[in-house]
Amino acid sequence: MRGSRGVSGMTVRLSETDNGALVRVQASEEVVLELLENPTTGYRWMIETTGDTVREIESDYVPSSAAIGGGGRRSVRFIAAHPGTAEVRAALRRSWEPPEQSLKQFAVTIHVQGDPDADDQ
């Protein structure tokens, strides 16, 4: 797990090496999940979250090169909406195939602490 301070607070960056981790963040912080993907094969990361403690705010695919058929990276941004615990799960699979046929799976538990509306004093 890697963190960097951004304009609006801390951003926690996660990758496949964080599979199974418990991540603690403050309310209103961002969590960015970056996973390798090659959509030209039909396999894409399908993302699910439990509850509304964290909300997905953006999902982008960035190719690693201009080569046709080359892979890249799926980057999914979440916001820690309010205190609580949520699980983010991802499955690398074709949309028309059942979840049990996933090539890879990823899961991380995110524990959000604090109150996003509290005054800093």
In this predicted structure, what is the pLDDT of residue 5? Answer: 35
Q: Give residue limits of the domains in the chain.
A: 2-113
Neighbours of 21 (CB within 10 A): 12
Strand intervals (E) in the chain:
2-6, 9-14, 22-26, 30-37, 44-49, 54-63, 72-80, 84-93, 104-113
Question: Under CATH, which architecture does the 2-113 domain have?
Answer: Sandwich (2.60)
Kindly report, residue by residue over 57-81, the tens digit of the pLDDT: 999 998 887 777 778 999 999 999 9
Residues of the chain with pLDDT under 50: 4-8, 119-121
